[in-house]
Homo-oligomer: A and B are copies of this chain.
Amino acid sequence: MKIAQVAPLWERVPPLSYGGIELVVSRLTDELVRRGHEVTLFASGDSQTLANLEAVYLRALRLDQNVQDYAVYQILELSQVYQQAAEFDIIHSHVGMTALPLASLVSTPTLHTLHDSFTKDSRKVFSYHQNQPYVSISNAQRQINLNYVGTVYNGIEPLDYPFVAQPQQPPYLVFLGRFSPAKGPQHAIAIAKQSGWCLKMAGKVDVVDSKFFEQEIAPHIDDQQIEYLGEINHAEKAELLGNAAITLFPITWQEPFGLVMIESMATGTPVIAINLGSVQEVIAHGITGFICQNYEEMATMIPAALKLTRQTCREHVENKFSVNQMVNGYEAIYKQIIENRINLINAYIQTASIQI
């Protein structure tokens, strides 16, 4: 198949540190190439890929001081993609609603993976284009009525996450993610204090979250019980997760997937999470972690979580959340969409012939 992959431009593909969507797009794209597809990746020019790279701009926008209006580059990317639409069998968009007005204007079908949750505003655009084909990254994500052609869970490459049979001593809890109220780092701190455990935290602080970080997080960082390691790269992340006794996922929002849960389990570290969004689909309760109703309960589940088998956590990811599984899912959906399109055209030609 001739496939266009349309990535966000904020981070390179794959990302240097944080960037869940860019990581998924990278793994998907490279595996599709390995399986013999002809793939064009639309992404920032510093991206690294086995596919044919169409560089929209020379580097990831986040790192470029010269760029003032990010929307420009999204428009430029979509221009490039849809001007060349006829050259692809399918266009796979990872850029959300911005691709929607264009998708219905060309004959090449676009598959839209929903990487975010819906907002009060954004659901209006999605609902307007509800007949476009969508992939949800969890069943829980399907908060509005759209033409969902499947759920494809995000996949990671288990080899990228070395398995750690025994957590480090002295043991610690870990929180990894953006420092925004939605991800719940404030609850991770409360859980550490309630249980007396050490907590290591890492992740980026966006400008919009700087006040939250200063007020709710920074005062608790004592470099003894509560540590903040800043933004870390992939190798550091895999090590931090693998050496942890337990990963906390104390979210306060309807997480559409939650990549860090599978990254943690891949290294062998079980996850204690709040029952919101995708959590029930990602964690096998009582086997690879625990799903709790509130933050106090999360603290009380630590002893039970320590008894879980780390090898089973790893296998759970290998079986359900590998790149291979993910690419199997997307490949099947691409085929189905393209076949449906051909059947539709044939039916149309047949009807037209009968009328003649």
Q: A residues bordering B, Cβ < 8 Å?
A: 66-69, 71-73, 75-76, 78-80, 82-83, 97-98, 100-102, 104-106, 119-122, 124-125, 128-129
Contacts and interface: CB of A to CB of B under 8 A. Distances in A.
B75 A97 contact: yes
29 contacts: A66-B120, A68-B119, A68-B120, A68-B121, A69-B119, A69-B121, A72-B97, A72-B119, A72-B121, A72-B122, A72-B124, A72-B125, A73-B121, A73-B124, A75-B97, A75-B98, A75-B100, A76-B124, A76-B125, A76-B128, A78-B101, A79-B125, A79-B128, A79-B129, A82-B101, A83-B104, A102-B102, A102-B105, A105-B105
A61 to B, nearest CB: 10
Which of A71, A75, A101, A122 is the most central at the interface, judged by chain B CB atoms within 10 Å of its CB? Answer: A101
A323 B111 CA distance: 46
Contacts of A66: 120
Which of A78, A82, A124 is the most central at the interface, judged by chain B CB atoms within 10 Å of its CB? Answer: A124
A356 B120 CA distance: 55
Given A69-B121, A75-B125, 6 more contacts: A68-B120, A72-B97, A73-B124, A75-B97, A79-B101, A82-B105
Q: How many copies does the complex hold?
A: 2
A322 B166 CA distance: 80
A71 B72 contact: no
Contacts of A71: 71, 98
Nearest to A119: B69
Contacts of A83: 104
A104 B98 CA distance: 16
A98 B105 CA distance: 15
A71 B71 CA distance: 9
A168 to B, nearest CB: 42
Nearest to A75: B125
A72 B96 CA distance: 11
A95 to B, nearest CB: 12
B69 A122 contact: yes
Contacts of A104: 83
Nearest to A85: B105
A195 to B, nearest CB: 37
Contacts of A125: 72, 75-76, 79
